[in-house]
């Protein structure tokens, strides 16, 4: 794209389309009064940031930091993360995987996270 002139002068040509120069660094298509006719939805469902939850996940693992951990100064004393699963078996398998010693850890390294099993009673009991 070639921008000619400066200030309030000439317009900018781009392959047959005319764009007006509005301000120092902003280009608007023939004026700011043009709007889209309808709201545009998501065209590709795989681009959603969070998956659609189709089934209940009442069984969870709460991951938090132990008291005295230096990361508490960075993340805050109330930091935690909750992971939800549809069955206790899946939760227990995920908990075992999360809490294991990482295969690429150094010899003396141990995970410094606290893992707690939790349950959403309203969902698990169907209330």
User: For residues 28 and 65, what is the distance between their CA atoms, to the nearest angstrom?
Assistant: 49
Is the domain of 19 the same as that of 64? no
Residue 44 lies in a domain: no
- Beta carbons within 8 Å of 8's beta carbon, 6+ residues apart: 21
Q: Does residue 120 belong to any structural domain of this protein?
A: yes
Are residues 64 and 24 both part of a single domain? no
For tokens 């993360």, name the residue. Answer: 81
Residue 64 pairs with which residues in a beta bridge? 80, 114
The Cα 90–Cα 60 span in angstroms is: 10
Tell me the pLDDT tens digit for each residue of 12-26. 555 555 555 555 554
In a domain, 16, yes or no: yes
pLDDT confidence of 66, banded at 50, 70, 90? very high
The arithmetic mean of pLDDT across residues 8-37, rounded, is 53
Instruction: State the pLDDT at residue 108.
Output: 78
pTM equals 0.53
For residue 95, being part of any structural domain is answered with yes
Round the average pLDDT of the chain to a whole number and report it.
75
Same domain, 76 and 117: yes
Residue 40 falls within a domain, yes or no?
no
Tell me, yes or no, whether 27 and 63 share the same domain.
no
pLDDT at position 92 is 96
pLDDT at 104: 81
Residues 63 and 120 in one domain: yes
Q: Which residue has the higher pLDDT, 19 or 87?
A: 87
Domain count, the chain: 2
Q: What is the dihedral of CA 21, 26, 28, 32, to 10 degrees?
A: -100
Residue 54 falls inside a structural domain = no
Cα→Cα distances 115→9, 32, 60, 83, 94, Å: 65, 53, 10, 11, 11
- Are 6 and 63 contained in the same domain? no
Domain that holds residue 116: 59-101+110-124
């Amino acid at each position: 794209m070639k921008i000619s002139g400066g200030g309030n002068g000439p317009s900018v040509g781009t392959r047959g389309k005319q764009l007006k120069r509005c301000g120092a660094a902003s280009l608007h298509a023939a004026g700011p009064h043009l709007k889209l006719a309808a709201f545009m939805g998501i065209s590709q469902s795989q681009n959603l940031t969070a998956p659609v939850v189709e089934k209940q996940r009442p069984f969870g693992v709460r991951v938090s930091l132990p008291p005295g951990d230096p990361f508490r100064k960075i993340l805050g004393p109330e930091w935690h993360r909750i992971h939800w699963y549809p069955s206790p078996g899946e939760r227990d398998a995920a908990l075992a995987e999360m809490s294991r010693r990482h295969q690429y850890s150094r010899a003396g390294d141990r995970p410094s996270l606290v893992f707690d099993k939790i349950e959403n009673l309203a969902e698990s009991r169907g209330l």
